[in-house]
Amino acid sequence: MEDQFIKAAGLIGDATRAAIMWTLLDGRAFTATELSIAVNTSPQNISMHLGKLLEANLLSVEKQGRHKYYRFSSKEVAYVVEAMANLIPKPEISSKKKIENYPPVKYCRTCYDHLAGKIGVALADSLLEQKIIIEKNNTFEISPEGEKWFSDFGVNIGDAKKQKRIFLKPCLDWSERRYHIAGSVGTLLLNKMLEQDWIRRTKDSRAIIITGKGEKEMLKNFKIVV
Amino acid sequence: MEDQFIKAAGLIGDATRAAIMWTLLDGRAFTATELSIAVNTSPQNISMHLGKLLEANLLSVEKQGRHKYYRFSSKEVAYVVEAMANLIPKPEISSKKKIENYPPVKYCRTCYDHLAGKIGVALADSLLEQKIIIEKNNTFEISPEGEKWFSDFGVNIGDAKKQKRIFLKPCLDWSERRYHIAGSVGTLLLNKMLEQDWIRRTKDSRAIIITGKGEKEMLKNFKIVV
DNA sequence: TTCATAGTTAAATATAGAATGAACTATTGA
DNA sequence: TCAATAGTTCATTCTATATTTAACTATGAA
């Protein structure tokens, strides 16, 4: 068991492979060539490293024509990379939001069903600012005004409250170092936005894209410039 | 940011250092010599590696006389090692419980306030077997008989239910690959056992020790042979 | 005060395995 | 059909860094 652990650690521990993992952390699938550019090394070298990661089942591939798309093989792998990214000391957060600089939605252990990444964080910020949700010793609560807002927005919180599932909780997004909204409320918001075609899921990625309509609405409702 | 990530990955990625981290995963603090034995290398070499891990703030030391005790510097570091340990494929679980072979309590992101490790898992098993708690699609619930059991045991579930905090949830213990009980119920159980002096916290470790009384009671109440 | 134990430092050596170079196959598009 | 792109394989080179050898300091026990 120990040797397997050491092997896994060694695989991620190499500089080039670590850079690959770092790149893949944004949830998308990358081709070998893309990775070789992102990581700044030769195609042969990338091929060699991808081979090792593949063999160890840390990555999986999907062939499409002459392209091969590489991604994390499981969420467990993403967790490792994520946990590692969390070791990096928090950078100073500038007072003004500069979400423009941020990369696309990043992998998050719960981002399968709620909004993570730059939009997720900006959204949480906005809801907090508008006092729709309130932070109370590390948890989120919905304010009385918030209740109204959600109902206006077409999200039925009542149903969510009845569910066994965690209602509303802050989830730390590694790339933003800020909290975004998880729990059933997070899911409801996400679904509403998909339903309204503000955002769309992409085919082979955990990332989402924002529609033209979404852009306008994000600005209007949350003052978020995408 | 990327370079910091690569550096961290590289630090954990070396075979000897990975073995150190693996050893430290049980939550205790180890001396340099102990580690050199556990990891099977020379004291000089261990010293060199510990130096690197210290400088990178992955470990912290405490000097006691001529001994130096090394441990994870933060829970974030433990999370990384834990996440990595979770990459290892699950071994077959034999039908009969052989908790005797298990190592002491292992580090767990929530084990600060609930029972993890071998006892935690065995306890969860027992409570499930006695139908005190029931598994229902990946969550734990307390059965009607369970309600009675908890009250007999001197644990007031009513209070816990009122709390905002998560009531009862299964938490995967990496070393056991089985679920144990987290949430406020987990904490209440732990506290009750401490209160009754079944178990005691150790000074410089996350591990707990079982008292003679505890041994008997564990057997009696949960059929757990410690 | 002396010996043993715990741990460190520094220079010398050894080696795993990453990168490179060259030659190859497979797919697409023109 | 040919050229271009995507990716791989393998033999060779190279280098970072882990380990060893040796000499050292600090603490505690006898």
pLDDT one-digit tens code per residue, B134-169: 876 556 778 888 888 888 888 777 766 655 444 555
pLDDT (0 to 100) of residue B107: 41
Select from B5, B19, B164 the Cβ nearest to the Cβ of A6: B19
Number of CB atoms found within 10 A of residue B65's CB: 5
At residue A130 the predicted structure's pLDDT band, cuts being 50, 70 and 90, is: confident
| Residue A71 in this model has a pLDDT that exceeds 80 | yes
What residues 126-145 of chain B have any CB closer than 8 A to a CB of chain A?
139
State both tokens at B96: 């009969």
Chain B residues touching A183 at Cβ < 8 A: none
At residue B187 the predicted structure's pLDDT band, cuts being 50, 70 and 90, is: confident
* Residue B67 Cβ < 7 Å to strand C: yes
C-alpha B170/C-alpha A22 separation (Å) is: 30
Q: For residues B76-84, give the mean pLDDT.
A: 85
CA A156, distance to chain mean position in Å, is 25
Return the minimum-mean-pLDDT range out of A15-29, A65-79, A169-183, B13-27. A169-183
Look at B80 and A76 and tell me if their CB atoms are within 8 Å. no
C-alpha A204/C-alpha A81 separation (Å) is: 20
Highest-pLDDT range among A83-87, A154-158, A170-174, B200-204: A83-87
State both tokens at B181: 């009980």
Chain B residues touching A175 at Cβ < 8 A: none
pLDDT (0 to 100) of residue B157: 73
Which of A57, A80, A106 is best to mutate for the B interface (most B CBs within 10 A)?
Answer: A80
State both tokens at B122: 């065995």
Nearest residue of B to residue A91, measured between CA atoms: B1
Nucleotides in chain D with any atom closer than 7 Å to protein CB = 5-10, 17-23, 26-28
C-alpha B200/C-alpha B98 separation (Å) is: 23
Q: Is A98 left (phi over 0), alpha (psi -120 to 50) or beta?
A: beta
User: Mean pLDDT of all residues in chain A?
Assistant: 73
Quick: pLDDT tens for B49-61. Answer: 999 999 999 998 8
List the end-to-end C-alpha distance of chain A, in Å, as a whole number: 46
**Does an H or E element contain A180, and which?**
strand A178-182
**Is the CB of A53 inside 8 Å of chain B's CB atoms?**
no
Number of CB atoms found within 10 A of residue B38's CB: 16
C-alpha B94/C-alpha B76 separation (Å) is: 32
Torsion, Cα B152 B153 B156 B161, to 10 degrees, reads -100
State the CATH architecture for B2-85: Orthogonal Bundle (1.10)
Q: For residues A57-85, give the mean pLDDT.
A: 85
Given the DSSP bridges, would you call strands A133-136 and A139-142 parallel, antiparallel or unpaired? antiparallel
Nearest CA to B33 out of B50, B18, B15, B21 is that of B50
Alpha helices in B116-198 (DSSP H): 117-129, 144-153, 157-162, 183-195
pLDDT (0 to 100) of residue B177: 44
pLDDT (0 to 100) of residue B16: 95
Chain A residues touching B90 at Cβ < 8 A: none
Quick: pLDDT tens for A171-224. Answer: 444 444 455 665 566 677 777 877 787 776 654 445 566 667 777 787 778 776
Residues of chain B with CATH 1.10.10.10: 2-85
| Residue A140 in this model has a pLDDT that exceeds 80 | no
Look at B6 and A22 and tell me if their CB atoms are within 8 Å. yes
State both tokens at A220: 């209007």
To the question of pTM greater than 0.75 for the whole model, the response is no
User: Mean pLDDT of all residues in chain B?
Assistant: 73
